[in-house]
Amino acid sequence: MLNWGVLAPGRIANNFAQGFAAVSGACLYGVASRDAQRVEEFATRYDIKHTYNSYAQLLEDPAIDVVYIANPHRYHAEVVEQCLNAGKHVLCEKPLTVTAKQATHLFELATEKNLFLMEAVWSRFLPCWQQVKQWIESGNIGEIQLLRSTFGFQAERNMEDRLFNLELAGGAMLDTGVYNIALSEFVMGRQPESVSSSVLVGETGVDERCSVMMDYGDVTSQFSCSFLSKLDNEFQIVGSLGTINVAACFWDATKAELVLNSGDRETFDQAYRASGFEYQIDEVNRCVKAGQTQSDNVSADVTIGNLHVMDQVLSEAGVNYPFAERC
């Protein structure tokens, strides 16, 4: 039985905790936050026996094997490092860090300490995306030619909000574009050869809209991410023999359709066992019990490579976070 600790019991941590309803061989052992009321409510809701008033208290508990980090990504790098130095395996929400340089350091530290570390790109473990991968690898759509995707919503223009705050690593790329990039890499199995982009930077210095083309030589992935507009939020994979359409919202899709040029169609439509987070939890449990320090699905190379793409887009647009140095 692996004992999990949760840091920062907010909205996404609730989705994570709900996934444990469909998980065996592990339990939610403890939760920590400086907000005592939030901790107690979270612990009661998910029948968690141990609560802590600080991250440090949770990390000092030798009973905890794995830590799930769900605080704002501005603080991921320092908290992941604290967890690794405390001897804990780590699953950290996406993006793992704000820059590729930060992520490289963390994976080196995890390897040095023989600890597991993974970025929580839950979409890549979902049954729908596993089916998409199977269709591609089986040759159903022939040679991949084009990827198209969008992730956009109209955010309230509160300049104090995290999304628009440069000091909190705000911006559309790190908040939403991370999905377009991570799932393009999942489909292609490699990083692009070149990246070009058009970025709208707002008054607070963060990217509010990004239009990006990732060129793989024989394939391009075109995507837009935005805080300004509600987009269709679908993901399309075009091949020489057909097309795969992943329904909105593609990052948590339960449905995809294979449409062949011949007119034949096949639909995948499968509900989650719980919240959808259970599939990545299963992966972490499997890897930790097997003594692995990385997942084959979301490895260090995948996370660091995807962050290099985001680094390039943001750097070329003049978005530079004052607390994080890029390579």
What does pLDDT average to in each consecutive run of 10 residues of the chain (327 residues)? 97 97 97 96 98 97 98 97 98 98 98 98 98 98 98 94 96 98 98 98 97 98 97 98 98 98 98 98 98 98 98 97 90
Structure tokens at 16: 């994570």
User: What is the predicted pLDDT for the residue at 327?
Assistant: 79
Distance from chain centroid for Cα 136: 22
CATH topology of domain 127-270: Dihydrodipicolinate Reductase; domain 2 (3.30.360)
Q: In degrees, to the nearest 5, what angle opens at C-alpha 325 toward C-alphas 322 and 326?
A: 130
β strands within the chain, DSSP E: 2-7, 26-32, 50-52, 66-69, 89-93, 117-120, 144-152, 194-201, 207-215, 220-226, 235-239, 242-246, 255-260, 265-269
DSSP state of 177: I
Angle at which helices 300-317 and 100-112 cross, to 10°:
160
Residue found by looking up tokens 């804990």 in the block: 88
pLDDT value of position 1 = 94
Q: Which CATH number fits the domain 2-121+277-293, given the four candidates 3.40.50.720, 3.40.50.1390, 2.40.50.140, 3.40.630.30?
A: 3.40.50.720
What's the rounded Cα separation, in Å, for the pair 253 and 317? 31
CA distances for 268 relative to 67, 95, 124, 189, 253, angstroms: 33, 28, 16, 22, 10
**For residues 38 and 56, what is the distance between their CA atoms, to the nearest angstrom?**
17
- Domain residue limits, the chain: 2-121+277-293, 127-270
Examine domains 2-121+277-293 and 127-270 and report if their fold is the same: no
Q: What does the pLDDT read at residue 181? A: 98
pTM metric for this prediction: 0.97
**pLDDT attached to residue 310:** 98
